[in-house]
Amino acid sequence: MSKTSSLSKLKLAVGAALTVSATCGFAEINIIPKPNQVRELKGADFKLTSQTGIRFDEKVEAEAKLLAKSINKATGLKLRLVPEKARIRLQSEIHVDVVTGDEESYTLAVTPSKVQIKGGDVAGTFYGTQSLLQLIPLKGQPVLPGCQIKDQPRFGWRGMHLDVGRHFFPTENIKTFIDQLAVHKMNTFHWHLTEDQGWRIEIKKYPKLTEVGAWRKASPPYGDRWKQDGKRYGGFYTQKEIKEIVAYAKARHITVVPEIDMPGHMAAAIASYPELGNDDIPNYNPEVKTYWGIHPYTLAPKESTFKWIDDVLTEVCALFDSKYIHIGGDEAPKGQWKKSKFAQSVIKREGLHDEHDLQSYMIKRIEKMLEAKGRKLIGWDEIREGGLSPNATVMLWRGWNHAIKSVEEGHDVVMAPGSHTYFDHYQNKRSKELAKGLEFECIGGYRPLDSVYSFDPIPEQFQGTEKAKHILGCQAQLWSEYMHTWDKVEYCAFPRIAALAEVAWTEKENKQDFEEFSKRLEVMAVRYKNAGINAFDQSTFFVPKPLKGYKVSSSLKPHGDNQPMAVIDGDPQTFFWANSGPRKDDHIIVSFDKPKSGEKVIVKTGKASEYGDALENGVLEASKNGKDWKVVAEFEKGAAEAKLPSGTKAIRIRCTKNQNSWLQVQELDFIK
Ligand code: ACM
């Protein structure tokens, strides 16, 4: 999967190309993810007409046919398909070819008489066709700008996850999603198929998994996560449908990695086959869950359970051709195993220390099962608990230290951190979203587009080292508790998927800034619209602004979308919320364009509606030059007020003693 060896070659070439592109500019070339080398050839445009044909090497016939279909959709033109062996000369042609080169690499040359795509392998050819499609202008004549592109991805794992356990989405939706993954040159679809709230994959040997486990009695409605709507809900994919999806994805060079989440998140399976549970303790046997969250039910470490796991994985491996099978491993509470005499007897029998060891013991056995079927195990970073199984690959979602330790121990890692890649978090200010309707509710968090774009999957200490090759790539997550409809999935996925795709594909040094990406994204947003995708409209993104004439800075980082400027944005509903307890001398500075003299300022810290997060020890200071500060008041019970000395240009709220609790600062009040 690693691209390291071929990358160094490419990097040498890229430097030169960038100089060219900087002087020519790539005004008409708005490809996302941004290709690693682009050279614009002014005046060398290629006109797509009804006379244009697609000539193809037989090895890439399927890719050529898909290209013809997509060109037809975009332009209405029906291009003639001509196999190379027919030895027909074309006046105007797109030549779709494959040579032997780097994995997933391609070149694309647009000249007036010919468009030439050459893949380093068949996948590379496919990516060349995807870049070509993004050269077709949004409107007007279908003229492709003259250019030379040389490209290959930064990472071999460019993933997108979808949870179909919490909500189920039909195969037509999955196919449109796969189409878009292809547009973004993503190559891995992580299909999260089992959950406490629904088992979604037909297993022939255990029919109750879908007869019982695919259905729940109720779900929480939007707006009240502790309420129940009383409506039966469910669905599952038949094996025939799964094969169809796997083939559809494969034709688009996307590997479907299935996830069967164990030993936790197994309530639906245990509801179907109670003997899988820890049946020597009370309440071991749930219904298919109707609430979100983490549930206590875990598989019992019985031989019959291992047999069930093996049987399920046998059917899974027959359906999916992926190298990796995801076995979950996340959020498995240890309470049931603590109470179960049987689970304790296994801990003793196997010489294990505790329940974490028991989880590790189970996962090691599952790894052996997968290896016997020729597959590799991947799991969420909790599979580290009690020790990683020997060949496991870790999917990081929590702290980066789990990735760092796994790499240090020689394991491969896919970076899918909650801090950058959880697309179930808000992408705009929460209050702005909820004002549009309850159906805009997200699980929480704040993950705007620019923060996805800023993600670098390689931990700092591994940059430029051999260890970096253990980072296989990155992936975004779509957990679907708050995605009741396909429209909402699209709303959460797009356009953040574009930012993630560029993180995964484009070399760090070839990415420019977020502004430049945003310009290309404007074109992509129209393409989304044309494809009928319900993307979030990035032009409605709320940028917090201080009132005119004020500037705000802080040494503290905000919690979510509660930015420092909220203390002077004119909206009493908003506030600054620091995401840690302030240390001594942490501060917030508010400066004014026009000096103030004799005005009273009132500063209130702490939550407006309840106790907490106030400044425990601090001073309010004033300055005439932004450098020299004079204390004008001390904070008492989280509040301070003072008359500002003549010519005050700035005030500073400064912490004077480290505190553990976070800090919230409400709208400042200036009274004349
Ligand atoms: C996870 O978010 N539970 C992997």
- Ligand 1 center to 330 CA (angstroms): 6
For 617-630, b/e burial (b = at least 16 CB within 10 A) is: ebbbbbbeeeeebe
Pick the residue whose CA is nearest to atom 2 on ligand 1: 397
Q: Tell me, what's the pLDDT at 649?
A: 98
Q: Among the listed ranges 36-40, 226-230, 558-562, which one has the minimum average pLDDT value?
A: 558-562
Q: Tell me, what's the pLDDT at 8?
A: 38
Task: Tell me if 107 is assigned to some domain.
Answer: yes
| Average pLDDT over all residues of the chain | 94
Task: Tell me if 9 is assigned to some domain.
Answer: no
Question: Do 287 and 257 belong to one domain?
Answer: yes
Contact between 109 and 128 under an 8 Å Cβ cutoff? The reply is no
Q: Tell me, what's the pLDDT at 280?
A: 98
Mean pLDDT for 629-634 is 98
Residue in 411, 533, 421 with CA at minimum distance from that of residue 472: 411
Instruction: Identify the residue whose tokens are 């016939």.
Output: 61
Q: Tell me, what's the pLDDT at 28?
A: 76
Find how far residue 264's CA is from the centre of its chain. Answer: 23
Q: Tell me, what's the pLDDT at 23?
A: 33
- Ligand 1 center to 523 CA (angstroms): 33
Confidence band (pLDDT; 50, 70, 90) for 610? confident
In testing the pocket of ligand 1, which one of 161, 265, 330 has its CB within 8 Å of the most ligand atoms? Answer: 330
In this predicted structure, the answer to whether residue 414 has a pLDDT above a threshold of 70 is: yes
- Choose one of 151, 170, 204: the last residue of a domain: 151
Question: Do 143 and 167 belong to one domain?
Answer: no
Q: Tell me, what's the pLDDT at 178?
A: 98
Question: Do 247 and 382 belong to one domain?
Answer: yes
Task: Tell me if 318 is assigned to some domain.
Answer: yes
- Classify strands 255-262 and 233-234 as parallel, antiparallel or unpaired: unpaired
Nearest ligand 1 atom to alpha carbon 328: 4
Nearest ligand 1 atom to alpha carbon 477: 2
Q: What are φ and ψ of residue 395, in 5° steps?
A: -105, 110
Q: Please give the tally of structural domains in the chain.
A: 3
Nearest ligand 1 atom to alpha carbon 380: 4
Question: Do 140 and 283 belong to one domain?
Answer: no
Residues 6+ apart with CB under 8 A from 437: none
Nearest ligand 1 atom to alpha carbon 331: 3
Question: Do 481 and 554 belong to one domain?
Answer: no
In this predicted structure, the answer to whether residue 503 has a pLDDT above a threshold of 90 is: yes
Question: Do 172 and 135 belong to one domain?
Answer: no
- Ligand 1 center to 496 CA (angstroms): 19
In this predicted structure, the answer to whether residue 2 has a pLDDT above a threshold of 80 is: no
In testing the pocket of ligand 1, which one of 479, 480, 481 has its CB within 8 Å of the most ligand atoms? Answer: 479
State the CATH number of the domain containing residue 69. 3.30.379.10
Q: Tell me, what's the pLDDT at 24?
A: 35
In this predicted structure, the answer to whether residue 12 has a pLDDT above a threshold of 80 is: no
Mean pLDDT for 202-214 is 98
Task: Tell me if 531 is assigned to some domain.
Answer: no
Q: Tell me, what's the pLDDT at 498?
A: 98
Q: Tell me, what's the pLDDT at 6?
A: 42
For residues 234 and 353, what is the distance between their CA atoms, to the nearest angstrom? 40
For residues 300 and 275, what is the distance between their CA atoms, to the nearest angstrom? 8
Q: Tell me, what's the pLDDT at 611?
A: 77
Mean pLDDT for 69-78 is 97
Q: Tell me, what's the pLDDT at 18?
A: 35
Pick the residue whose CA is nearest to atom 3 on ligand 1: 330
532-551, pLDDT tens digit by residue?
Answer: 999 999 999 988 789 999 99
Task: Tell me if 523 is assigned to some domain.
Answer: no
In this predicted structure, the answer to whether residue 637 has a pLDDT above a threshold of 90 is: yes
- Ligand 1 center to 269 CA (angstroms): 18
52-68, pLDDT tens digit by residue?
Answer: 999 999 999 999 999 99
**pTM for this prediction:** 0.89
- Ligand 1 center to 416 CA (angstroms): 10
- Ligand 1 center to 453 CA (angstroms): 21
State the CATH number of the domain containing residue 178. 3.20.20.80
Q: Tell me, what's the pLDDT at 573?
A: 84
Question: Do 201 and 256 belong to one domain?
Answer: yes
- Choose one of 96, 119, 151: the last residue of a domain: 151
236-253, pLDDT tens digit by residue?
Answer: 999 999 999 999 999 999
User: Could you give the residue ranges of the DSSP H alpha helices within 149-201?
Assistant: 171-183
| Other CB atoms within 10 Å distance of the CB of residue 208 | 14
Nearest ligand 1 atom to alpha carbon 479: 2
Confidence band (pLDDT; 50, 70, 90) for 13? very low
Residues with CB under 6 A from ligand 1: 330-331, 380, 397
Residues 6+ apart with CB under 8 A from 306: 362, 365, 369
- Ligand 1 center to 279 CA (angstroms): 26
Pick the residue whose CA is nearest to atom 1 on ligand 1: 330
Residues 6+ apart with CB under 8 A from 144: 45, 46, 47, 48, 110, 115, 132, 135, 136
Task: Tell me if 25 is assigned to some domain.
Answer: no
| Other CB atoms within 10 Å distance of the CB of residue 142 | 18
State the CATH number of the domain containing residue 589. 2.60.120.260
Question: Do 175 and 141 belong to one domain?
Answer: no
Confidence band (pLDDT; 50, 70, 90) for 324? very high
Question: Do 147 and 170 belong to one domain?
Answer: no
- Choose one of 151, 173, 202: the last residue of a domain: 151
Task: Tell me if 331 is assigned to some domain.
Answer: yes
Q: Tell me, what's the pLDDT at 17?
A: 38
Question: Do 220 and 348 belong to one domain?
Answer: yes
Contact between 232 and 288 under an 8 Å Cβ cutoff? The reply is no
Range of the domain at 636: 550-671
Question: Do 251 and 195 belong to one domain?
Answer: yes
Task: Tell me if 83 is assigned to some domain.
Answer: yes
Question: Do 495 and 575 belong to one domain?
Answer: no
* Residue with more model confidence, 608 or 577: 577
For residues 417 and 404, what is the distance between their CA atoms, to the nearest angstrom? 13
- Classify strands 444-446 and 471-476 as parallel, antiparallel or unpaired: unpaired
Query: Mapped to the 3 state alphabet, what secondary structure does 272-301 carry?
Result: HCHHHCCCCCCCCCCCCCCCCCCCCCCCCC
Mean pLDDT for 626-635 is 97
- Ligand 1 center to 169 CA (angstroms): 20
Q: Tell me, what's the pLDDT at 551?
A: 96
For residues 356 and 397, what is the distance between their CA atoms, to the nearest angstrom? 19
439-454, pLDDT tens digit by residue?
Answer: 999 999 999 999 999 9
Sheet of 618-623, strands arranged across: 550-554, 587-596, 648-655, 618-623, 630-634
Nearest ligand 1 atom to alpha carbon 422: 2
Nearest ligand 1 atom to alpha carbon 416: 4
Mean pLDDT for 490-511 is 98
Q: Tell me, what's the pLDDT at 20?
A: 34
For residues 295 and 284, what is the distance between their CA atoms, to the nearest angstrom? 11
Nearest ligand 1 atom to alpha carbon 397: 4
Mean pLDDT for 134-144 is 95
